């Protein structure tokens, strides 16, 4: 099977597997236990915090380990809701449901959506104008969109929020491990998740503002300075850090990113040449090198059929986000970009990982071209020639 669904979850990198197994053997103790095995586990946890802080550019105590990005996002929004009695929040219209749904639930009519342009980039001018009028309790803008890969102006948004005295939250779940993480430490809150960059599932982190208390989402233990109750997943955390460092090392090597972008661009060019009525979502914007979102040509019930047919042909690909793909609703990301519901329903997402070979893209293209007459035969004839 050729796996092109890394934005849903990315298989464990070898470096993470080694770190995980090593930690299971070396650190059997609970970091909260008073004996030597506990102390040793606690010291390993401290070291992991230092290594992650070095990648993000923040202080080690700012890091809170979580079960993943959904928990990190919920923590930020619950913390904000409990502290801001009447203040509104601004959240981009294309956030992952972990942010958007939680903000809707907690803030209801105090939620302002930051619009995006047709290219999928959040409207900074809107944010600047809004900040001049009122000070929200929180502004949330993701670093890179999970469905389209479109990069967001989070650095500029962070600067503007800091200047306006508003807390800034960046969900960097799809950015971490794919683009250099430096600079993220300047954001008040940052969410990340190991399984998106080759670490294990069920472990993530939240970067919090230095020196300020965080209201815990969970109660029942004093772990992590009372900020997150529950025994820390030490092997998972050490594997997270190992995977993150391995990705950063790849990113630091000269020529890596241009080569990866060239791979993506070549596939898109060849795909559009083969299917002239397909369109690449966010084509005009800067995007992650690993993500391609294509609105496929019009045919009856195209979305399901492409995914199923490609699956049978040996390719694991996705429609929109992993969480949205089972639902009947058109993607909120694509509709926020001005796509019609029927177009959003025809979107396919291909997302690669560091170990995806160049040949995967060639093979995928060949499979799509081979399936296309069959697909076109079931509906519109736009690309049937
Ligand atoms: N935020 C973004 C941008 C995501 O893409 C995802 C997962 O798809 C999440 C948050 C939730 O991550 P997790 O699976 O770690 O809860």
Dist. CA 38 → ligand 1 center (Å): 31
End-of-domain residue from the set 187, 222, 251: 251
46 and 114 co-located in one domain: yes
* Angle of CA points 16, 19, 23, to nearest 5°: 140
Look at residue 385 in the predicted model and tell me its pLDDT: 35
66 and 78 co-located in one domain: yes
With bands split at pLDDT 50, 70 and 90, how would you rate the model's confidence at 345?
A: confident
In a domain, 8, yes or no: no
357 and 275 co-located in one domain: yes
Dist. CA 171 → ligand 1 center (Å): 8
Q: For ligand 1, atom 9, which residue shows the shortest CA distance?
A: 69
Dist. CA 213 → ligand 1 center (Å): 24
| pLDDT for residue 331 is more than 90 | yes
Pocket residue to mutate for ligand 1, from 142, 150, 193, 194, most atoms within 8 A of Cβ: 193
In a domain, 111, yes or no: yes
222 and 292 co-located in one domain: no
With bands split at pLDDT 50, 70 and 90, how would you rate the model's confidence at 303?
A: low
Residue 139 pairs in a beta bridge with 90, 168
In a domain, 2, yes or no: no
In a domain, 369, yes or no: yes
176 is catalytic: no
Helix, coil or strand: residue 145: coil
Pocket residue to mutate for ligand 1, from 66, 70, 77, 197, most atoms within 8 A of Cβ: 70
What lies within 8 Å, CB to CB, of 326 at 6+ separation is: none
Dist. CA 262 → ligand 1 center (Å): 26
242 and 292 co-located in one domain: no
Look at residue 163 in the predicted model and tell me its pLDDT: 98
Q: For ligand 1, atom 13, which residue shows the shortest CA distance?
A: 69
Per mean pLDDT, which range of 116-130, 232-246, 365-379 is the poorest? 365-379
- Residue range 118-156, pLDDT digits in tens: 999 999 999 999 999 999 999 999 999 999 999 999 999
In a domain, 87, yes or no: yes
Ligand 1, atom nearest to 193 Cα: 15
* CATH number of the domain residue 95 falls in: 3.40.640.10
| pLDDT for residue 15 is more than 70 | yes
| pLDDT for residue 383 is more than 50 | no
pTM above 0.85, yes or no: yes
Sign of dihedral through CA atoms 196, 198, 204, 205? negative
First-last CA distance in the chain: 29
Contact assessment for residue 115 and residue 332, using Cβ atoms and an 8 Å cutoff:
no
Average pLDDT, the chain: 94
Q: Quote the number of domains for the chain.
A: 2
In a domain, 96, yes or no: yes
In a domain, 4, yes or no: no
128 and 168 co-located in one domain: yes
326 and 231 co-located in one domain: no
Q: What is the mean pLDDT of residues 26-46?
A: 98
188 and 94 co-located in one domain: yes
Instruction: Report residue 234 CA to chain centroid gap.
Output: 22
Look at residue 35 in the predicted model and tell me its pLDDT: 98
155 and 291 co-located in one domain: no
267 and 244 co-located in one domain: no
244 and 303 co-located in one domain: no
From 73, 187, 247, 323, the catalytic residue: 323
Domain membership of residue 236 as a residue range: 14-251
In a domain, 3, yes or no: no
Dist. CA 274 → ligand 1 center (Å): 33
- The fraction of the chain above a pLDDT of 90, given in percent, is 89
Look at residue 381 in the predicted model and tell me its pLDDT: 40
Dist. CA 341 → ligand 1 center (Å): 23
* CATH number of the domain residue 353 falls in: 3.90.1150.10
CA 59, CA 62: separation in Å to the nearest integer? 6
Residue 91 pairs in a beta bridge with 113, 140
306 and 207 co-located in one domain: no
CA 285, CA 295: separation in Å to the nearest integer? 16
Ligand 1, atom nearest to 195 Cα: 15
End-of-domain residue from the set 199, 227, 251: 251
End-of-domain residue from the set 251, 278, 294: 251
Pocket residue to mutate for ligand 1, from 6, 174, 217, most atoms within 8 A of Cβ: 174
CA 119, CA 109: separation in Å to the nearest integer? 27
How many other CB atoms are there within 10 angstroms of residue 245's CB atom?
18
Q: Which residues line ligand 1 (CB under 6 A)?
A: 68-70, 96, 98, 142, 146, 171, 173-174, 193, 204, 321-322
């Amino acid at each position: 099977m050729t796996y092109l669904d890394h934005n849903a979850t990315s298989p464990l990198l070898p470096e993470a597997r080694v770190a995980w197994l090593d930690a299971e053997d070396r650190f059997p103790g609970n970091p909260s236990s008073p004996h030597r095995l506990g102390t040793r586990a606690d010291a390993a946890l401290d070291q992991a915090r230092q290594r992650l802080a070095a990648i993000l550019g923040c202080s080690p105590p700012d890091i809170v380990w979580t079960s993943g990005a959904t928990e990190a996002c919920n923590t930020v929004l619950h913390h904000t809701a409990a502290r801001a009695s009447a203040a509104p929040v601004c959240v981009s219209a294309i956030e992952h449901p972990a942010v958007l749904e939680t903000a809707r639930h907690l803030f209801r009519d105090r939620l302002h959506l930051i619009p995006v342009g047709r290219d999928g980039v959040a409207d900074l001018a809107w944010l600047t104008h809004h900040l001049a009028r009122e000070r929200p309790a929180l502004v949330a803008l993701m670093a890179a969109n999970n469905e389209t890969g479109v990069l967001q102006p989070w650095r500029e948004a962070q600067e503007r929020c800091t200047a306006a005295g508003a807390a800034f939250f960046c969900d960097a779940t799809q950015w971490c491990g794919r683009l250099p993480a430096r600079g993220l430490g300047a954001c008040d809150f940052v969410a990340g998740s190991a399984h998106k960059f080759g670490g294990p599932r069920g472990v993530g982190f939240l970067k919090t503002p230095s020196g300020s208390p965080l209201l815990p989402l969970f109660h029942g233990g004093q772990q992590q300075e009372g900020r997150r109750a529950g025994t820390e997943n030490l092997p998972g955390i050490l594997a997270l850090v190992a995977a993150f460092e391995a990705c950063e090392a790849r990113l630091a090597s000269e020529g890596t990113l241009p080569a990866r972008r060239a791979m993506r661009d070549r596939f898109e060019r060849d795909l559009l040449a083969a299917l002239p009525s397909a369109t690449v979502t966010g084509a005009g914007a800067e995007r992650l090198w690993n993500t391609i979102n294509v609105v496929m040509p019009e045919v009856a019930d195209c979305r399901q059929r492409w995914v199923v047919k490609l699956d049978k042909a040996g390719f694991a690909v996705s429609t929109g986000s992993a969480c949205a793909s089972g639902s009947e609703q058109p993607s909120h990301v694509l509709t926020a970009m001005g796509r019609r519901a029927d177009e959003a329903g025809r979107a396919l997402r291909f997302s690669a990982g560091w170990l995806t070979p160049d040949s995967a893209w060639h093979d995928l293209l060949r499979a799509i071209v081979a399936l296309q007459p069959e697909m076109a035969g079931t509906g519109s004839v736009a690309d049937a020639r």
